[in-house]
Amino acid sequence: MENAAVMMDLPEGCIANVIGLTTPPDACRLSLTSTDFKSAADSDAVWDKFLPPDTNEILSRSESAIDAKSKKELFLTLSHNPILIDDGKMSFSLDKWSGKKCYMIAARGLRIAWDDTPRYWKWKSLPESRFKEAAKLRFVCWLEIRGRIETRMLSPSTTYKAYLVYKLTKRTYGLDWPAVVTVGARAYGFDYECPGLKEITAGIKHTAILVPQRKIEGQLARHHEINEVKFPNESRADGWLEMELGEFHCQGDEDGELEMIFCETSMGKSGLLVQGIEVRPERE
């Protein structure tokens, strides 16, 4: 109580500097303690520290304007409502716990093998998707989904995880077989074909099963090394499934691109709806 009283005697600017060293949730909690703390905790001086320094540049890449009356309102808007940037091929948001940058690459912004062939893939508008279109798999044997994002777009000194965000249709086939997932840094402007998919994924075990575990309990015995198999996360707030592809620690001084891969090329598959690949900070 004595320490709190001492803090209350400090100028608002000093209090704001201290609060700015905490986290967004801490600032929200502190704003409830007293009128003096609320004024400091809600100030632009505090919330400007939680916003990425290039926020305005990122917002300029969006066709949607955000009518925020304060830095706090801007932060809360971006942490709850992703905005579309780059002609709708990507979304941008903030992690509400840390203020770190989050992105999702739309299916249209991914490299999906045969996605321009109606026999194999169909582009479909879904009201529950944040993007204009999602990719619906009709039937392929060669399932290859790859995405890329410049490492300089990510928050520095942050470990990121990448996820394939998708749904399953009522009728699926072959998606209960383990696939390869991997994430890695490559030189800026790399060519997808050099090296090829098989060279990149050589030696990587097939561990990712897109069908939830509860739906294939009776079939698990057929999978080799079952202890290494991973299943999708079903607890996304938006109702989509997500499969972790891997992680990457962004130092902040890298000059390259992060490549994310999901592939399975040995058997026929159908019944997959792809919204995109999401890249977000790992929760500590």
In CATH, what number does 101-281 get? 2.60.120.260
Nearest to 278 by CA among 144, 131, 96: 131
pLDDT at 7: 55
The full set of domain ranges for the chain reads: 2-81, 101-281
Number of DSSP helices (H) and strands (E) in the chain, helices first: 8, 12
pLDDT at 197: 96
DSSP 129: S
- Other C-beta atoms closer than 10 Å to the C-beta of 200 total 18
How many whole angstroms separate alpha carbon 68 and alpha carbon 147? 32
Triad 257, 56, 125: Cα angle to 5°: 65
- Cα–Cα distances in Å, from 256 out to 2, 67, 115, 194, 235? 51, 34, 26, 15, 32
How many whole angstroms separate alpha carbon 194 and alpha carbon 122? 27
Q: Tell me the pLDDT of the chain (284 aa) as tens digits.
A: 445 555 556 677 788 788 888 999 999 998 888 777 888 889 999 999 999 999 999 999 999 989 999 999 999 999 999 999 999 999 999 999 999 999 999 999 999 999 999 999 999 999 999 999 999 999 999 999 999 999 999 999 999 999 999 999 999 999 999 999 999 999 999 999 999 999 999 999 999 999 998 888 666 555 555 567 899 999 999 999 999 999 999 998 888 999 999 999 999 999 999 999 999 999 86
Tokens of 103: 């992105």
pLDDT at 127: 94
pLDDT at 62: 97
